[in-house]
Amino acid sequence: MTLRHTAKGGLAALALSAGSATAQEAPFGTDADTGYAAELWAAMEDMNLAGEGMLRSFPYQGVAPHGMMLETLYTTATIDGHSGDLVIKRNYGPEGVGIADVLSDPDTHLAAVTVMFRREAGYDPDNADWFWAKYLPDGSLDRNPKGMRLAGRVAKGTNAGCIACHSGAGDDMLFTTDHLGSD
């Protein structure tokens, strides 16, 4: 074997190992996260909380990064035999949209659906075991600027994203006074 073949083989092995290391270290957006997010969306559709014909609530003024107008729903859901707290935030836009706009044509103004679902104990104990997802109105997952699907432990270990922002809300990671009963 020549030095040239050895170098090519080494570079190929390095490229393959770097790719698998990156995939193993991804804190969110994995195939498992995507599959779980699909199950969660299906459960929300079954409960009439997402998709066509979903139940609506009265919108209120929101702030970035969610939307200019928001609807927030609190309930529980069961995914893979585990029941947990479910927080659904419907994010409406664009800037300048008002309550009357959302009430008269919510589907036109719905930009995203952001969700927190409290998974089984041990899923992510540092972050109250929340599973995070950001869906587009059709139920597909949104992506960050790097193309990562926004599901799972979104932006864990960074100073931006779901976990970083919500960690400022206290132990339950909710920016409301509602306590959902799970600890």
Give the CA-trace dihedral at 6, 9, 13, 15, to 10 degrees.
Answer: 110
pLDDT at 7 over 80: no
CA atoms within 13 A on the CB side of 132: 23
pLDDT for 8 equals: 40
Residue 25 — very low, low, confident or very high, per pLDDT cuts 50/70/90?
A: low
pTM greater than 0.85: no
Higher pLDDT, residue 161 or 151: 151
- At residue 61's C-alpha, the angle toward residues 102 and 140, to 5°, is 60
Residue 165 — very low, low, confident or very high, per pLDDT cuts 50/70/90?
A: confident
Q: Is the dihedral of CA 86, 166, 168, 59 positive or negative?
A: negative
Q: Under 8 Å CB-to-CB from 156, ≥6 apart: which residues?
A: 27, 28, 124, 127, 163
Closest-CA residue to 123 (of 162, 84, 158): 84
Q: % helix / strand / coil in the chain, to the nearest 5? A: 35, 25, 45
pLDDT at 11 over 50: no
The pLDDT tens digits for 113-139 are 999 999 999 999 999 999 999 999 999
